[in-house]
């Protein structure tokens, strides 16, 4: 079963999104990429509503298995951190309403996953996206490229494809392995106690 990831680079003026499908091995293909834009002249409620509608349309269109979002990190510009956190909350709620798993990745995790270095710059990330996804050019603007990089990070460093367990609930491959290990441990305990 193929895994589809929607990456979100949260921003109030430009919220980047990138959708990728997992291929065989570590290959992936780009499905869609772009940004949801809002005007700084609009009020915060109007802007967040526009971002919500834009991301919701992409979720409905592409039905991702996971929504991966860049984790907000502390920086000197408090208003920027606040607006980024608000957009992050919008993306999380949209995924939660549909029962879609979410994952948060720090910028350094994304850089390391895509380029091998946690200190890579945007040009290095974009060059790797072109190579890894066999693109003619890096997605533009940078927010869109960042969203694709976030999606790739989830694909390569996340828990893996979602599988259905016996009860019909969603389970990641990592959760399935963990559940099987628990069952094996329980069987071993049961067999040892039945001897006495």
Is 70 one of the annotated binding-site residues? yes
3-state secondary structure 102-117: EEEECHHHHHHHHHCC
Residues above pLDDT 90, as percent of the chain: 69
Instruction: State the pLDDT confidence band at 193, using cuts at 50, 70 and 90.
Output: low
pLDDT of residue 79: 80
pLDDT reading at 70 higher than 90? yes
Q: Do 141 and 181 share a domain, yes or no?
A: no
For 56, the domain range is: 4-158
User: Domain of 93: which CATH number?
Assistant: 3.30.420.10
- Residues labelled catalytic: 9, 70, 143
178: tokens are: 């963990």
Instruction: State the pLDDT confidence band at 68, using cuts at 50, 70 and 90.
Output: very high
Q: Do 120 and 74 share a domain, yes or no?
A: yes
Is 45 one of the annotated binding-site residues? no
Is 60 one of the annotated binding-site residues? no
For the chain, give the mean pLDDT: 84
- CA 51 to chain CA mean position, Å: 17
pLDDT of residue 186: 55
Q: Do 25 and 101 share a domain, yes or no?
A: yes
Q: Do 37 and 72 share a domain, yes or no?
A: yes
Instruction: State the pLDDT confidence band at 182, using cuts at 50, 70 and 90.
Output: very low
Q: Do 54 and 149 share a domain, yes or no?
A: yes
pLDDT of residue 159: 62
pLDDT reading at 185 higher than 60? no
**E strand residue ranges, 27-185:** 28-37, 66-70, 101-105, 162-164, 170-172
């Amino acid at each position: 079963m193929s895994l589809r990831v929607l990456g979100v680079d949260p921003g109030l003026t430009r919220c980047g999104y990138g959708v990728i499908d997992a291929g065989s091995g570590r290959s992936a293909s780009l499905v869609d990429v772009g940004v949801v834009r809002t005007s700084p002249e609009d009020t915060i409620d109007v802007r967040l509503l526009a971002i919500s509608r834009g991301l919701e349309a992409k979720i409905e269109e592409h039905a991702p298995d996971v929504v991966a979002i860049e984790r907000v990190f502390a920086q000197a510009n408090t208003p920027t951190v606040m607006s980024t956190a608000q957009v992050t909350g919008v993306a999380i709620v949209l995924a939660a309403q549909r029962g879609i798993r979410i994952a948060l990745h720090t910028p350094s995790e994304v850089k390391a996953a895509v380029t091998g270095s946690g200190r890579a710059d945007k040009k290095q990330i974009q060059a790797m996206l072109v190579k890894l996804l066999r693109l003619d050019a890096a997605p533009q603007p940078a927010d869109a490229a960042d969203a694709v990089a976030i999606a790739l990070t989830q694909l390569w460093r996340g828990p893996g494809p979602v599988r259905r367990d016996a009860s019909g609930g969603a389970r990641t491959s990592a959760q399935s392995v963990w559940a099987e290990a628990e069952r094996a441990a329980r069987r071993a305990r049961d067999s040892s106690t039945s001897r006495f």
